[in-house]
Amino acid sequence: MRLETAGEWFPGPDRLFAALEATAPENTRVVILGQDPYPTPGHANGLAFSVNPDIALPRSLKNIFTELHDDLGGTPATGDLTHWAKQGVLLLNTSLSVLPGAAGAHAKWGWDELARQAVTEAQKHGPLAFLLWGAHAQKAMAGLPRPTDLTIATAHPSPLSARRGFFGSRPFSRINDWLTENHRAPINWTA
């Protein structure tokens, strides 16, 4: 099946590669891996966990912001995470497209291999911090992090699992500490 003839799907052709366009391999410092775009109309914007500024925060993103506030004392004004991407945070889903209301519908289309290739390309430019939320992300990136990389693997921020190790993990300050130790600028997570 070709995307052009598959009917409605998200995030749509103009945002399909938004994560890779927003964060070039040579600028990538952090990898946050999602599973697939939000399957709710109007939510997916091509960046993992991100939504457009006028969209209410999905539950996983609310939990991410709760942890961010507990960790660093603030949160962005909206759920649009483009400012993270511009600072070198690759917000990549292992599936770049999804059918409305059908999470995982395009999971077997080979997008996961593209995600691995994108991360491998970014690794050519220096050590990376991997933020792997949930078993899916951890399995998808298995074998890629190197000893020079930072890997933070916790439960997914979903309401179903956030209390099993996501909350209290303080990933944002840990990444910034690691970046600073490696003589790299920290991420402004709360801007």
Amino acid at 138: Q
- 106 confidence band (pLDDT: 50, 70, 90): low
**Bridge partners of 91?**
32
- Which residues are annotated as catalytic? 36
**Global confidence as pTM:** 0.90
Three-state SS letters, the chain: CCHHHCCCCECCCCCCCHHHHHCCHHHCCEEEEECCCCCCCCCCCCCCCCCCCCCCCCHHHHHHHHHHHHHHCCCCCCCCCHHHHHCCEEEEECCCCEECCECCCCCCCCHHHHHHHHHHHHHCCCCCEEEEEHHHHHHHCCCCCCCCCEEEEECCCCCCCHHHCCCCCCHHHHHHHHHHHCCCCCCCCCC
**Among 122, 129, 105, residue whose Cα is nearest residue 35:** 105
What is the model's pLDDT at position 130?
A: 96
Q: Which of the given ranges, 1-10, 61-70, 105-114, has the highest pLDDT on average?
A: 61-70
Give pLDDT tens digits for 176-190. 999 999 999 999 999
Residue 137 has pLDDT above 70, yes or no: yes
What is the model's pLDDT at position 107?
A: 61
What is the model's pLDDT at position 39?
A: 77
Rounded to the nearest 10 degrees, the angle between the axes of helix 171-181 and helix 59-72 is 60
Residue 95 has pLDDT above 70, yes or no: yes
Tell me the C-alpha distance between 68 and 168, whole Å. Answer: 10
Q: What percent of the chain clears pLDDT 70, i.e. is strictly above it?
A: 91
Residue 86 has pLDDT above 60, yes or no: yes
When mean pLDDT is compared across 87-91, 136-140, 164-168, the lowest value belongs to 136-140
- 114 confidence band (pLDDT: 50, 70, 90): confident
